[in-house]
Amino acid sequence: MAIERLLKDEATEEKGERARMASFIGAMAIADLVKTTLGPKGMDKILQSTGRGRSVTVTNDGATILKSLHIDNPAAKVLVEISKVQDDEVGDGTTSVVVLAGELLREAEKLIATKIHPMTIISGYRMAAESARNALLQKVMDNKEDAEKFKSDLMKIAMTTLSSKILSQDKEHFAKLAVDAVMRLKGSTNLESIQIIKKPGGSLTDSFLDEGFILDKKIGIGQPKRIENAKILVANTAMDTDKVKIYGARVRVDSMSRVAQIEGAEKDKMKEKVQKIIAHGINCFVNRQLIYNFPEELFADAGILAIEHADFDGIERLALVTGGEIASTFDNPESVKLGHCKLIEEIMIGEDKLIHFSGVEMGQACTIVLRGASFHVLDEAERSLHDALCVLSQTVIDSRVLLGGGWPEMLMAKEVDELARKTPGKKSHAIEAFSRALQAIPTIIADNAGLDSAELISQLRAEHHKEGSTAGIDVITGAVGDMGKLGICESFKVKQAVLLSATEAAEMILRVDEIITCAPRKREDRM
């Protein structure tokens, strides 16, 4: 044995069968973890952090759950990544994509046990995914031309997305909020201009959509409470130097009157700055930093509404919405772009006073105010609403729609099965396995609702062998129902992303035959 060890002492490597087992088991464990959150009757998970404050999150959003986990298994990390990407790309389907990838690997494991080479399985999966996608493409509906129908499609998609979330009780109310907000965007996917404000108190049904922009700040003392035809200067500049800051500076003076002179000079400097700002011909000044009493007083005398400490998120969005730019120097007023809006006033939501900008330059802007019993409920409601908004904004661009409730999966499974019968060789086993993995999704939806999944899925399969069937699982009645009548719709883009990402992730994990873990870096003694 000339070569005793190739790797460092602490490094480990797993080869062949063991490596494959490790990656399969990790991936399936992750899939089983989020499996129970799938579907309208999915359960929530509580995530508790170990950091300070032990913050608690209650959620059933697959991506949120997986993002919060610290995972050691490399294959499981791949699944976490695909759910993150799914969340960024289309917003919904984060759980489905992980579950589907997990099921594909579960099937692959059985095939590998019967001595079928991973590459054969991969090429079978490839063919199956292609055929499944084509099956969906033949069945999509596109109502882009008919505005009424398209809007009702959007409502259905929003209700389907929300029905698996905390908002499922008031899903019509929230679906309407989401559709209205997305329709205002007129086709852009920039969700920046939809602002979501969370205010505890009231119940979820008290949430409402408000056109314009709401800033979570109070109006200062002695300032106009209401301004019409506002010209707004959005700034990020220091307005807190009308007194000498003692801790930073060392000033040697021979008498107290000199200190007063210095303070006077500081004050004049501030006054000059305020004059420059007023010279822009504005009647509302929003600053990201603090504004001290002296400049605030000067603004109030000039009849200008000064809002201080509007956090960065606030001013960025305000600048975007009112069409202004964030300024930090005020020497040449003509080059600064001011923001405009028709009316600024103070409104009350619950106990809090907020500033409401209405009739803003960018007509697409709106604010959704969420009310709810506690912060946990509000956070989860915001996540659910964000998912719905993402899906809708993607659907406005790619308006192809499918039915939901396990219908697309059964449709794809049927098509893939037919392909398996036509395909000679070992690949056909892999293609059949793909179809079984697709059927696992409706199975899990039924299981989560406490229904007899085996019975339901076999009924569904029989239904789907009839031409043009629209059968899916109706979780409410616990039977096979007509998805077209029930109005359960999903966006084609989401389904396609789920199918392709899950297949690619499964393929990537299947290719693994060795896992090498590096030796941990030793801390040197710095003596």
Catalytic residue positions, numbered: 61, 94-95, 387
Q: What dihedral angle (degrees, nearest 10) is formed by the CA atoms of 368, 93, 38, 444? A: 160
For the purposes of burial, counting CB atoms within 10 Å of the CB of 6, is it exposed (0-12), middle (13-18) or buried (19 or more)? exposed
Report the C-alpha gap between 308 and 326 in whole angstroms: 14
Which of 489, 450, 483, 438 is closest to 97 using CA atoms? 438
Place of tokens 């499996």: 35
For the purposes of burial, counting CB atoms within 10 Å of the CB of 206, is it exposed (0-12), middle (13-18) or buried (19 or more)? middle
Q: Is 161 within 8 Å of 487 (Cβ atoms)?
A: no
Report the C-alpha gap between 2 and 70 in whole angstroms: 39
Q: Is 489 within 8 Å of 153 (Cβ atoms)?
A: yes
Q: Is 185 within 8 Å of 194 (Cβ atoms)?
A: yes
Residue type, 172: E
Residues 6 or more apart in contact with residue 268 via CB below 8 angstroms: none
* Extended beta strands in 350-451, E state: 352-360, 366-372, 400-403
Q: Is 351 within 8 Å of 201 (Cβ atoms)?
A: yes
**Token pair of 172, please?**
């019509």
Residue 499: how many CB atoms within 10 A of its CB? 24
Q: Which 8-state DSSP code applies to residue 51?
A: S
Residues 6 or more apart in contact with residue 9 via CB below 8 angstroms: 519
Q: What is the DSSP pairing of strand 366-372 with strand 194-200? A: parallel
Helix 453-464, helix 407-422: angle, nearest 10: 70
Place of tokens 């990407």: 85
Q: Is 387 within 8 Å of 61 (Cβ atoms)?
A: yes
199 phi, psi to nearest 5 deg: -130, 115
Rg (CA), the chain: 30
HSE toward the beta carbon, residue 99, CA cutoff 13 A: 24
HSE toward the beta carbon, residue 86, CA cutoff 13 A: 34
Q: Is 103 within 8 Å of 437 (Cβ atoms)?
A: yes
Residue 421: how many CB atoms within 10 A of its CB? 9
Place of tokens 């289309």: 90
**Token pair of 75, please?**
């294959």
